[in-house]
Amino acid sequence: MVQGKLNEQAKGVFIIAATPFTDEGALDLYSIDSLTDFYLGCGVHGFTLLGMMGEAHKLTAEESLTVVTRVIARAQGRQVIVGASHAGLENVRRLAHEAMVAGAAGVMVAPPQGLKGDDGVYNYYAQVFKELGPDIPVVYQDYPQTTGVYLAPSVFERLVDDFKQLVMLKHEDAPGLAKLTRVREGEKKPGRRRVSILVGNGGLYYPQEMQRGADGAMTGFAWPEMLVQVYDLFAAGKSSEAEDLFDLYLPLVRHEQQPSIGLALRKEVLFRRGAIRSPKQRVPGSSLTATDRAELDSLTARLERRLAAAGRPSRIAAE
Amino acid sequence: MVQGKLNEQAKGVFIIAATPFTDEGALDLYSIDSLTDFYLGCGVHGFTLLGMMGEAHKLTAEESLTVVTRVIARAQGRQVIVGASHAGLENVRRLAHEAMVAGAAGVMVAPPQGLKGDDGVYNYYAQVFKELGPDIPVVYQDYPQTTGVYLAPSVFERLVDDFKQLVMLKHEDAPGLAKLTRVREGEKKPGRRRVSILVGNGGLYYPQEMQRGADGAMTGFAWPEMLVQVYDLFAAGKSSEAEDLFDLYLPLVRHEQQPSIGLALRKEVLFRRGAIRSPKQRVPGSSLTATDRAELDSLTARLERRLAAAGRPSRIAAE
Amino acid sequence: MVQGKLNEQAKGVFIIAATPFTDEGALDLYSIDSLTDFYLGCGVHGFTLLGMMGEAHKLTAEESLTVVTRVIARAQGRQVIVGASHAGLENVRRLAHEAMVAGAAGVMVAPPQGLKGDDGVYNYYAQVFKELGPDIPVVYQDYPQTTGVYLAPSVFERLVDDFKQLVMLKHEDAPGLAKLTRVREGEKKPGRRRVSILVGNGGLYYPQEMQRGADGAMTGFAWPEMLVQVYDLFAAGKSSEAEDLFDLYLPLVRHEQQPSIGLALRKEVLFRRGAIRSPKQRVPGSSLTATDRAELDSLTARLERRLAAAGRPSRIAAE
Amino acid sequence: MVQGKLNEQAKGVFIIAATPFTDEGALDLYSIDSLTDFYLGCGVHGFTLLGMMGEAHKLTAEESLTVVTRVIARAQGRQVIVGASHAGLENVRRLAHEAMVAGAAGVMVAPPQGLKGDDGVYNYYAQVFKELGPDIPVVYQDYPQTTGVYLAPSVFERLVDDFKQLVMLKHEDAPGLAKLTRVREGEKKPGRRRVSILVGNGGLYYPQEMQRGADGAMTGFAWPEMLVQVYDLFAAGKSSEAEDLFDLYLPLVRHEQQPSIGLALRKEVLFRRGAIRSPKQRVPGSSLTATDRAELDSLTARLERRLAAAGRPSRIAAE
Main-chain phi, psi angles of D21, to 5 degrees: -125, 155
| Cβ neighbours of C284 in B, within 8 Å | 88-89, 112, 124, 127
How far does the CA of residue B172 sit from the closest CA of chain A (Å)?
12
pLDDT in tens, chain C (319 residues): 446 999 999 999 999 999 999 999 999 999 999 999 999 999 999 999 998 777 888 999 899 999 999 999 999 999 999 999 998 899 999 999 999 999 999 999 999 999 999 999 999 999 999 999 999 999 999 999 989 999 999 999 999 999 999 999 999 999 899 999 999 999 999 999 999 999 999 999 999 999 999 999 999 999 999 999 999 999 999 999 999 999 999 999 999 999 889 999 999 999 999 999 999 999 888 899 999 999 999 999 999 999 999 988 655 443 3
CB < 8 Å to C177, chain D: 258, 261, 292, 295
The 10 Å CB-count burial string (b at 16+, else e) for D246-266 is: bbbbbbbbbbbbbeebbbbbb
> Residue B52: its pLDDT value, please?
76
Confirm if C67 and C102 have CB atoms less than 8 A apart: no
Question: In angstroms, rounded to a whole number, what is the distance separating the alpha carbons of residues A70 and A47?
Answer: 12
What is the number of other CB atoms lying within 10 angstroms of the CB of residue B231?
23
The pLDDT tens digits of the residues spanning B83-127 come to: 999 988 999 999 999 999 999 999 999 999 999 999 999 999 999
Query: Which whole-number Å values give the CA distances from A69 to A270, C43, C154, C284, in the listed order?
Result: 21, 72, 45, 56
Q: How far off is chain A from D195, nearest CA to CA, in Å?
A: 27
| Whether pLDDT at B317 is above 60 | no
Assess contact for D150 and D114: CB atoms under 8 A.
no
**Res. B314: pLDDT tops 80:** no
Q: What is the DSSP string of B166-226?
A: EEEEEE--SS-HHHHHHHHHHTTSTTPPPPEEEE-GGGTTHHHHHHTT--EE----S-HHH
Beta-ladder partners of A196: A168
Q: For A209, name the nearest residue in chain B, comparing CA atoms only.
A: B295
What is the residue-wise DSSP string for chain A? Answer: ---PPP-TT--EEEEE----B-TTS-B-HHHHHHHHHHHHHTT-SEEEESSGGGTGGGS-HHHHHHHHHHHHHHSTT-EEEEE---SSHHHHHHHHHHHHHTT-SEEEEPPPTT--HHHHHHHHHHHHHHHH-TTS-EEEEE-HHHH-----HHHHHHHHHH-TTEEEEEE--SS-HHHHHHHHHHTTSTTPPPPEEEE-GGGTTHHHHHHTT--EE----S-HHHHHHHHHHHHTT-HHHHHHHHHHHHHHHHHHTSTTTHHHHHHHHHHHTTS-S--PPPSS-----HHHHHHHHHHHHHHHHHHHHTT---HHHH-
CB contact under 8 A, B283 and C91: no
Q: Does pLDDT of D317 surpass 90? A: no
Reported confidence tier of residue B313, pLDDT bands at 50, 70, 90: low
d(CA A116, CA A125) in angstroms, rounded, equals 13
Residue D16 has pLDDT above 90, yes or no: yes
Task: Tell me if D219 sits within 8 A of D18, measured CB to CB.
Answer: no
Which residues lie closer than 8 Å to D47 by C-beta, 6 or more apart? D14, D15, D17, D36, D39, D71, D75, D78, D79, D80, D81
Q: How many CB atoms lie within 10 A of CB D61?
A: 15
**Per-residue pLDDT for D304 more than 90?**
yes
Task: State the virtual CA torsion across C98, C99, C103, C106 in degrees, nearest 10.
Answer: -140
Q: What gap in Å lies between CA C73 and CA C3, rounded to an integer?
A: 11
pLDDT at residue B318 above 80? no
Query: In angstroms, rounded to a whole number, what is the distance separating the alpha carbons of residues C38 and C44?
Result: 9
Return the closest-CA partner of residue A70 out of A54, A91, A89, A92.
Answer: A54
Report the pLDDT value the prediction gives residue B33, as an integer from 0 to 100: 98
Cis peptide bond upstream of B284, omega within 30:
yes
Residues belonging to chain D with any Cβ–Cβ distance to chain C shorter than 8 Å: 174-175, 177-178, 181, 204-205, 208, 211-212, 243, 247, 250-251, 254-255, 258-262, 289, 291-292, 295, 302
**C-alpha span between C138 and B315 (Å, rounded):** 52
pLDDT at position D42 over 70? yes
H/E stretch holding B267 reads: helix B262-272
Axis-axis angle for helices B29-41, B61-74 (nearest 10): 40
Is B261's CB within 8 Å of A204's CB? no
What's at B224, amino acid-wise? P
The per-residue pLDDT for D314 is 57
3-state per-residue secondary structure call for C56-105: HHHCCHHHHHHHHHHHHHHCCCCEEEEECCCCCHHHHHHHHHHHHHCCCC
Residues in chain A: 319
* pLDDT interval class at B55 (50, 70, 90): confident
State pTM to two decimals: 0.95
Query: Would the CB atoms of B261 and A178 count as touching at under 8 Å?
Result: yes
- Spatial contact of B285 and A201, defined as CB atoms under 8 Å apart: no
Amino acid in the structure at residue C270: L
* Res B319 pLDDT > 50: no
Residues of chain A with pLDDT under 50: 1-2, 316-319
Tell me: pLDDT of D316 over 60. no
Q: Scanning every residue of chain B, which has its alpha carbon at the shortest distance from the alpha carbon of A249?
A: B247
Residue D318 pLDDT grade (very low, low, confident, very high; cuts 50, 70, 90) = very low
Whole-angstrom CA distances from C138 to A53, C168, C183, D4, D292 are 46, 7, 17, 62, 30
Type and span of the H or E element at C155:
helix C153-162
Exposure b/e, D196-207, CB count within 10 A at least 16 = b: bbbbbbbbbbbb
Please tell me the predicted confidence (pLDDT) of residue A53: 80
Query: Hey, how many other C-beta atoms are within 10 angstroms of the C-beta on D77?
Result: 10
State how far residue B116 is from chain D, nearest Cα, in angstroms: 6
Residue D1 is predicted with a pLDDT of 45
